[in-house]
Structure 1
Amino acid sequence: MPDDDPLSVPTTGILTIEAWMRPDDLTPPNVESSGYVHWLGKITYGGGNNVEWAARMYSLDNTEDRANRISGYAFNREGGEGVGSYFQDPVQVGEWIHYVLVINTVVRDAPYPMGYTKIYKNGDQRDQDSLAKLKIEPANTTSPCASPPRVSAPSAPVASARWRSTRTNSRATASLRTTTR
């Protein structure tokens, strides 16, 4: 999906990424770094990074003891380390998981002075983390919203994904549907 302002956190200060995912392989062959795939995100590397957010799943055999951890991250434009929320439960091949990541820079209070990331699995909130941990200030970039090209098609197909960028008086929605195996 091409770049579109409603897919960027700064448009309204709140972005919700919702997807049904079904891992078909718990040890995907083409992983990044310590053993994970970004299966969805607004990320462009090389020639000037344009990084915003990413949905990630760690391989069963990753090197960080994060077996099949499913997470969502917010980044500064330059990339590098991001602030992420996660859940880490046993995952079965072919199991459908309802994934929701919220990145919120509007709600600012003592524990979250710059906002937060929050993640849900199958409707239950599982984690929430402060963007202030790493001074994350999401930017609106020109990156497309997709499975990043430097990673092969992930072994965690997305049945459908929906992004919602909301604020009190403004709302924008973009949707993407892909086929599953």
Structure 2
Amino acid sequence: MNFAGSHHIHVIGGQYAVSADPDTVLMTVLGSCVSACIYDSTTNIGGMNHFILPTSGGLEITQHPERYGDLAMRALVDDLCSLGAERRNLRAKLFGGRTHKCSGYDPGLLNAAFARRFLQAEGIKLVDSSLGDDLARWVAFHPTTGSVQMRITAVTMPDTSIPRIAGATARATRY
């Protein structure tokens, strides 16, 4: 796929974009966040979101509500339909959800699971996905055709070991 001469829109965390313009390409970079690329190839309308956490917990969010999967997915689907996409024709591709090989809270795993549940509950067919593993993903999505280009990079972390001092504890933080 060649995106030369296209109009590029970068979709960052907490944003979404929809388009029916054949010259538009929606782009994002993902770690533990998830991006849903949803399109209707019959009406040639599509869009992409980029959410950071799976749900808003039912709270009324006034600033950057699309940071949350439940609000980002709903907004994307509603906007696609308001532009003329037919709900029965919607297809989805999911990307991101980088997981960490450690115990405890794993937002990537939770984000990916939420996105799958949302699509199933809404009756939107999942046609492709690249979720999980300790990978960063660069995604370029052509919303009118549903075509995707993706580049994957393994996340390599520098040595984060911290010398121990008698009587003290230390933690290494991974970014």
Question: Fold match, TM over 0.5?
Answer: no
- Which structure has the bigger radius of gyration? 2
Higher relative contact order (CA 8 A, sep 6+): 1
User: How high is the TM-score relative to the length of structure 1?
Assistant: 0.28
Comparing both structures, which one devotes a greater share of its residues to strand? 1
Identify, as 1 or 2, the structure richer in helix: 2
TM-score under structure 2 normalisation?
A: 0.28
